[in-house]
């Protein structure tokens, strides 16, 4: 299977630079994976596709202010994007600089934070942050929100609210689980009143989520790793929903990846750890019957995932339809509800 099979033409003006004025005001494209039928709706219609006993599984990760600017001890400028906080004083980060910093070199970030390059780990650097203040607290005070590379404006206070789900609680992501951005408290309350249940997983989304696949044979792609947690209460909720005839709906590809990672042994089990699960057509899903997601980048692993879930031909047609109907794409864009093809 070729990476070029997942390419498509997208007019630049369809890349959403801002979210809808209010959460829940986006459009919703419904795809029936079995029949291939498409239905243009509004996100506020979501409850019409759900029934009492269905279970929505949300990713409760919280986006951190992961971007810092600074200088090396040589005076050269650099940009740091924290990929993962390891503990109170250490983190893995991407560093952009004219010359890569060497292990042992000192950095001054945001004019106030002293950090040392401990070692290089592949494309990432392990940094040690000096002082008594934790990495997360330093980022909250001095960092900036890491908006996706295709959003062209600098992050502001509006983004700090809207590029975060209303249920975010576990800090650690450098990108939002964007399907969840459409939900507001009123929508959640209506679904609860309908009898739709909720459960949570945590997957700290990494910057690799925006990277295209750079090899032509997708089987040769090396997937980036992310940290996930699936709790026993969530496993119990899924089992209870299925026993009662309810359907499991993953809110976002990150929720789906966490659940499928937790079921890698054949049965869904509670646990946490690193996952580099790469889902592309041919994959057999074990947990999720429906997927709520946004529209994804050409040649991306996420487009491959939704193609596996809804069917390659179905997704191709759906994306052509979305372009023709002027849907808004990517993180701040519109949503799809996909019924699994098989």
The domain over range 67-142 is classified in CATH as 1.10.3720.10: no
Tell me where in the chain the CATH 3.40.1780.10 domain(s) lie: 3-63+159-339
For position 208, what pLDDT does the model report?
A: 77
Give CB contacts under 8 A, 24+ apart, made by 35-43.
36/311, 36/313, 36/314, 36/317, 38/317, 38/318, 38/321, 40/325, 43/182, 43/334, 43/335
E strand intervals along 86-240: 90-97, 106-109, 113-121, 124-129, 170-173, 197-203, 226-230
Using a 10 angstrom Cβ sphere, with 0-12 exposed, 13-18 middle and 19 or more buried, the burial of residue 287 is buried
Tell me where in the chain the CATH 2.40.10.240 domain(s) lie: 67-142
Total Cβ atoms within 10 A of residue 92: 18
Picking from 294, 293, 299, the residue whose alpha carbon sits closest to that of residue 5 is: 299
Tokens of 185: 């408290």
Q: What is the rounded distance in angstroms from the CA atom of residue 172 to the CA atom of residue 252?
A: 17
For position 211, what pLDDT does the model report?
A: 74
Do residues 104 and 117 make contact, with C-beta atoms less than 8 angstroms apart? yes
Using a 10 angstrom Cβ sphere, with 0-12 exposed, 13-18 middle and 19 or more buried, the burial of residue 41 is middle
User: Under 8 Å CB-to-CB from 157, ≥6 apart: which residues?
Assistant: none
Tokens of 263: 């079921």
Tokens of 259: 């659940």
Using a 10 angstrom Cβ sphere, with 0-12 exposed, 13-18 middle and 19 or more buried, the burial of residue 158 is exposed
Do residues 63 and 164 make contact, with C-beta atoms less than 8 angstroms apart? yes
The domain over range 3-63+159-339 is classified in CATH as 3.40.1780.10: yes
Do residues 57 and 255 make contact, with C-beta atoms less than 8 angstroms apart? yes
Q: Going residue by residue through the chain (342 aa), what tens digit of pLDDT does each one get?
A: 899 999 999 999 999 999 999 999 999 999 999 999 999 999 999 999 999 999 999 999 999 999 999 999 889 999 999 999 999 999 999 999 999 999 999 999 999 999 999 999 988 999 999 999 999 999 999 999 999 999 999 999 999 999 999 999 999 999 999 999 999 999 999 999 999 999 999 999 998 777 778 899 998 998 888 999 999 999 999 999 999 999 999 999 999 999 999 999 999 999 999 999 999 999 999 999 999 999 999 999 999 999 999 999 999 999 999 999 999 999 999 999 999 997
Q: What is the rounded distance in angstroms from the CA atom of residue 163 to the CA atom of residue 244?
A: 35
Q: What is the rounded distance in angstroms from the CA atom of residue 33 to the CA atom of residue 307?
A: 10
Do residues 236 and 245 make contact, with C-beta atoms less than 8 angstroms apart? no
For position 224, what pLDDT does the model report?
A: 85
Q: What is the pTM of this model?
A: 0.95
For position 212, what pLDDT does the model report?
A: 74
The count of residues in the chain is 342
For position 291, what pLDDT does the model report?
A: 98
E strand intervals along 86-225: 90-97, 106-109, 113-121, 124-129, 170-173, 197-203
Q: What is the rounded distance in angstroms from the CA atom of residue 227 to the CA atom of residue 219?
A: 22
């Amino acid at each position: 299977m070729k990476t070029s099979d997942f390419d498509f033409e997208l007019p630049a003006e369809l890349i959403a630079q801002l979210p809808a004025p209010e959460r829940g005001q986006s459009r919703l494209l419904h795809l029936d994976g079995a029949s291939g039928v498409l239905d243009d709706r509004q996100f506020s219609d979501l409850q019409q596709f759900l029934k009492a006993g269905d279970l929505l599984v949300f990713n409760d990760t919280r986006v951190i202010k992961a971007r810092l600017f600074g200088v090396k001890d040589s005076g050269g400028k650099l940009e740091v994007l924290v990929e993962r906080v390891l503990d109170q004083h250490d983190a893995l980060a991407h560093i952009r600089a004219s010359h890569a910093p060497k292990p042992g070199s000192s950095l001054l970030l945001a004019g106030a934070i002293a950090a040392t390059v401990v070692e290089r780990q592949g494309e990432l650097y392990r940094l040690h942050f000096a002082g008594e203040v934790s990495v997360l607290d330093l980022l909250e005070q001095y960092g900036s929100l890491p908006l996706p590379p295709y959003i062209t404006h600098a992050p502001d206070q509006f983004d700090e609210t809207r590029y975060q789900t209303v249920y975010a609680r576990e800090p650690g992501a450098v990108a939002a689980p964007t399907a969840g951005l459409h939900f507001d408290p009123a929508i959640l309350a209506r679904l609860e009143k309908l009898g739709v249940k909720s459960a949570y997983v945590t997957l700290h989304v990494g910057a690799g989520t925006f990277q295209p696949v750079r090899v032509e044979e997708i089987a040769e792609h090396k997937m980036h790793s992310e940290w996930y947690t699936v709790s026993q209460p969530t496993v119990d909720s899924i089992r209870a929903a299925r026993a009662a005839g309810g359907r499991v709906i993953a809110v976002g590809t990150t929720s789906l990846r966490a659940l499928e990672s937790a079921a890698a042994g054949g049965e869904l089990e509670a646990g946490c750890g690193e996952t580099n699960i790469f889902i592309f057509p041919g994959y057999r899903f074990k947990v999720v019957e429906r997927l709520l997601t946004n529209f994804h980048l050409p040649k991306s692993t996420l487009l491959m995932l939704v193609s596996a879930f809804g069917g390659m031909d179905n997704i191709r047609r759906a994306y052509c339809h979305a372009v023709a109907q002027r849907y808004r794409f990517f993180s701040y864009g519109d949503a799809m509800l996909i019924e699994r093809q098989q």
